[in-house]
A and B are shown apart, each in its own frame.
Chain A
Amino acid sequence: MTYLFWAFAVVWLGVFVYLYGLMRRIRALGRQVTELVDHARYAAGSGSSPAAGAPGASPTARAHTAPSVRTPGAGG
């Protein structure tokens, strides 16, 4: 019975660890998307975007002094 328990436990543990890994990758992509959006807003000269170096600005937005992300409506 011990072996039976461990076999099923290992299978479900494996599946949940994999799902956790997928969720971590999704969160990392979400952060990248947020940074790109900040970056694009800054490039478009929107007043609502966080200023580079200001509190709340993403690390990417602070790092790029001359961002060049192309966004729809940003003039190509």
Chain B
Amino acid sequence: MRRSLDGPLTWSLFAVMLFALYAAFLYAPTEQVMGDIQRIFYVHLPLAWVGFVAFGHACWGGVRYLGTGRREWDVASASAAEIGVLFATLVIVTGSLWARPVWGAWWTWDPQLVTYLILWFIYVGYLILRAAAGDDARQARFAAVFAIVGFVDVPLVWLSARHLRALSPVIFTTHSIGLAPSMAWALLAGLVAWSLMYAVLVRARIRLGLLAAQIQDLVEGSA
């Protein structure tokens, strides 16, 4: 991992995040039906998408770990899953805060919400399993399989909103974007900003994981 990318990534994150906040609060117009509460969407949807990317990254790390047996991939998978769980938790909380005034309930057993909650539980389970595995290669392989199988739920979340009469609004279809252009730009800014946030966090977390593994080796070597 190239350290020279850290500075530009962090500064880009800072600049784009400021722009995304400006776009969400000032540039995007107030939605006519929901009012200002709709602005939650500019952080909720990017977090959800980047969360999916994180779980995809965790799955890919698991595949590579099973293929190569290299610890780096195991660390990458665990790091991505950890940040994915953080983002997914924030998605659930912001979704609830949006749903309360709009639907009149903090939570409904909507197919999309249920499949998303299952996804959250799967990766929380993965993190617990991974933490318990420690340096045990057999358990790490089992955790990798768990990360791969868990990712199967991601398309189910996506499809449930479109084919199972879900309550959640569907913004993107194959034909159009259901947003005014200024709203779409605000959403795009949020997507770029939270993608950069993910890149910065996952790089730091992977580096930390690798360092911890090396120190563990040294401690065991000195015992």
Contacts and interface: CB of A to CB of B under 8 A. Distances in A.
Interface string B25-62: 00000000000110110011001000000000000000
A32 B201 contact: no
A74 to B, nearest CB: 11
A10 B215 contact: no
B188 interface: no
A22 B97 contact: no
Contacts of A25: 208, 212
Interface string B80-95: 0001001001100110
Q: In the complex, which range does the number of interface residues on chain B fall in?
A: 20 to 34
A68 B205 contact: no
A36 B215 contact: yes
Given A6-B97, A36-B222, A18 B211 contact: no
A36 B211 CA distance: 13
B208 A7 contact: no
B36 A1 contact: yes
A32 B101 CA distance: 49
Given A4-B40, A36-B215, A64-B222, A11 B205 contact: no
A22 to B, nearest CB: 6
Nearest to B39: A4
Nearest to A64: B222
A19 to B, nearest CB: 8
A20 to B, nearest CB: 12
Contact of A10 (B39, B97, B100, B201): B97
Interface in B191-219: 197, 201, 204-205, 208, 211-212, 215, 218-219
Interface of B: 36-37, 39-40, 43-44, 47, 83, 86, 89-90, 93-94, 97-98, 100-101, 197, 201, 204-205, 208, 211-212, 215, 218-219, 221-222
23 contacts: A3-B37, A3-B40, A3-B101, A4-B36, A7-B43, A7-B44, A7-B98, A10-B93, A11-B93, A14-B89, A14-B90, A15-B86, A18-B86, A18-B201, A22-B204, A22-B205, A25-B212, A29-B212, A32-B219, A36-B215, A68-B222, A70-B221, A70-B222
